[in-house]
Structure 1
Amino acid sequence: MKFVTTHGEIILKLYDETPLHRDNFVRIVRDSVLDGVLFHRVIEEFMIQGGDTDSKNAQPGDTLGNADLPYTVAAEIRPDLFHKKGVLAAARGNTPDRVSSSTQFYIVQGKILNDSLLDRAETRINGWLAEYYVKREPEHQAKLDSLKTAIDEEDMDTFAKLNAEFEALAKDYEGFEIYRIPEAHREVYRTLGGTPHLDQNYTVFGEVISGLSVVDAIAGVDTDSRDRPLRDVRILKAEVLE
């Protein structure tokens, strides 16, 4: 996979361990869905995000980040795939089933972390996992159904209320195995860097094999208060490399 961007070329490989995301990404690239889209959300030492289908013709000041194709991709979260620098991962909304956007993705820049920061990331990971698993308890099915309805109807007030209730339930929830960042992953985060607090909550499905300097250059551009680059950073052409 190759992205020809306004800042240079990025070559990526897609993981066979995540076939739904692999096949979807190949399909949208072959269909030219990503040609011309912006990296519309850029945060230095975190990630660069693109794939909003409305961004191709966006004007300065337009709000971006809400458009994709009208389907989602089932989560493929694997314990051995983690958010080291350069990985390709799927963006998603705050949905109970953690399904991925059909087109929006991010590439991790991240930063180098020490063990204290990794411990803090571990706490955040488990907080999100607690919310995920508590929503699956049979006793909370009615509340979960109401949450899904609020999402479908874009009723943000009800969504915020129910989500806060689940967050409160998750604080004392112990019905899942606490996640520990493996030592092998910690060593990568201590040397190469990354964004560990996203682990086990978003689908990682590929990585940059050439062009990390381009990722760094994009991550370093000036942005506005909504993290959109002040000067457009665009994927001019996305190609599948046979």
Structure 2
Amino acid sequence: MTFKTFSLFTIIITLFFSSCREQPADKNKENHNNNVELDTSATQNAKVKEETKEDKEEEFVLTEDNAIEFFYEYNKTLTENTVKLTTRFGDIEIELYDNVPYHKANFIYLTKKGYFDNTYFHRVVKNFIIQGGNADNLETAKKRSEIGRYLLPPDTRKGHKHHRGTISMPSSEIDNPHMLASPYEFFIVVTKPGSYHLDGGYTPFGRVIKGMDVVDEINSQPVDDGDWPSQNIKIEKAEIIK
């Protein structure tokens, strides 16, 4: 074997073993890439689980079985007791009574949920009441469906009467011998000095502290035969102010 041939043979052998030594590095690199893919997959799974948990929390719906317990606990967390209703006639500010806990908690809960926004004062009885919280649109029906179907027990023995400016809750009209309250609606007494024949049958849970002139203006609007205002009177927004 000549020196030239031997040198060529040595180079080939050297290249062969160099190639063998580089392979583990490539394999490690491949494993590293796989680990990155696995880590990404794990992150995505954790994200999906978290989103599913949030969805379940958002899907909470009030029912006849859980409403009383829910509002009992919810009332303990409340520090607010004043709600402002905005209409095209002006604002109405309502102070809620602390000793009527279920009705107070219900009204604040619905306000924070945005339920009353874009509902109407849908019933106006001259020199008697204005009634709000309903609307003949899909938005309101959808909100009710998402919040839940439930009624509230009357709470009429707390010493509150239906004076002028009192906010009270009407009873449900469907199969309701115990005068359970319809939680989505309310009425404000306009009568001077009050409508005391309602005492004992309905639950006063607050009073107007500002904006009775707005209540009177709404009560003076023309209505049709069913006491529905000839022009819709929208509650543009309901918000907690303190």
Deviation of 1:44 (Å): 1.4
Gaps of 5+ in 1: 59-67, 112-192
Gaps of 5+ in 2: 1-82, 141-146
**1:11-41, Cα deviation, whole Å (9 max, x unpaired):** 0000011000000100000000000001110
Contact 2:127 / 2:219 at 8 angstroms: preserved in 1?
A: yes
Partner of 1:156: none
- More helix by percentage: 2
Contact 2:128 / 2:195 at 8 angstroms: preserved in 1?
A: yes
Establish whether residue 82 from structure 1 lines up as the match of residue 161 from structure 2: yes
Partner of 2:238: 238
Partner of 1:7: 89
Establish whether residue 105 from structure 1 lines up as the match of residue 186 from structure 2: yes
Contact 1:40 / 1:55 at 8 angstroms: preserved in 2?
A: no
Secondary structure (helix, strand or coil) at the match of 1:72 reads coil
Tell me how far apart the structure 1 counterparts of residues 110 and 134 of structure 2 sit (CA, whole Å): 12
In our comparison, the structure showing a higher alpha carbon Rg is 2
Establish whether residue 92 from structure 1 lines up as the match of residue 174 from structure 2: no
Tell me how far apart the structure 2 counterparts of residues 56 and 195 of structure 1 sit (CA, whole Å): 33
Tell me how far apart the structure 1 counterparts of residues 161 and 138 of structure 2 sit (CA, whole Å): 30
Aligned residues: 152
Tell me how far apart the structure 2 counterparts of residues 197 and 51 of structure 1 sit (CA, whole Å): 23
**1:134-172, Cα deviation, whole Å (9 max, x unpaired):** xxxxxxxxxxxxxxxxxxxxxxxxxxxxxxxxxxxxxxx
Contact 1:70 / 1:102 at 8 angstroms: preserved in 2?
A: no
Deviation of 1:79 (Å): 5.0
Deviation of 1:102 (Å): 1.4
Partner of 2:101: 19
Deviation of 1:108 (Å): 0.5
TM-score of the superposition, structure 1-length normalised?
A: 0.60
Tell me how far apart the structure 2 counterparts of residues 51 and 40 of structure 1 sit (CA, whole Å): 8
Secondary structure (helix, strand or coil) at the match of 2:115 reads coil
Tell me how far apart the structure 1 counterparts of residues 215 and 138 of structure 2 sit (CA, whole Å): 20
Tell me how far apart the structure 2 counterparts of residues 200 and 28 of structure 1 sit (CA, whole Å): 25
Secondary structure (helix, strand or coil) at the match of 2:119 reads coil
Establish whether residue 32 from structure 1 lines up as the match of residue 100 from structure 2: no
| Cα RMSD, aligned residues only | 1.8
Between the two proteins, what is the percent identity of the paired residues? Answer: 36
Contact 2:121 / 2:130 at 8 angstroms: preserved in 1?
A: yes
Deviation of 1:222 (Å): 0.2
TM-score of the superposition, structure 2-length normalised?
A: 0.60
Letter in 2 for 1:24: N
Residues 225 and 56 (structure 1 numbering): CA distance in 2 closer, same or farther, change over 3 Å?
farther
Tell me how far apart the structure 2 counterparts of residues 215 and 9 of structure 1 sit (CA, whole Å): 9
> Which structure carries more relative contact order (alpha carbon 8 Å, separation 6+)?
1
Contact 2:100 / 2:158 at 8 angstroms: preserved in 1?
A: no
Secondary structure (helix, strand or coil) at the match of 2:236 reads strand
Contact 1:84 / 1:108 at 8 angstroms: preserved in 2?
A: yes
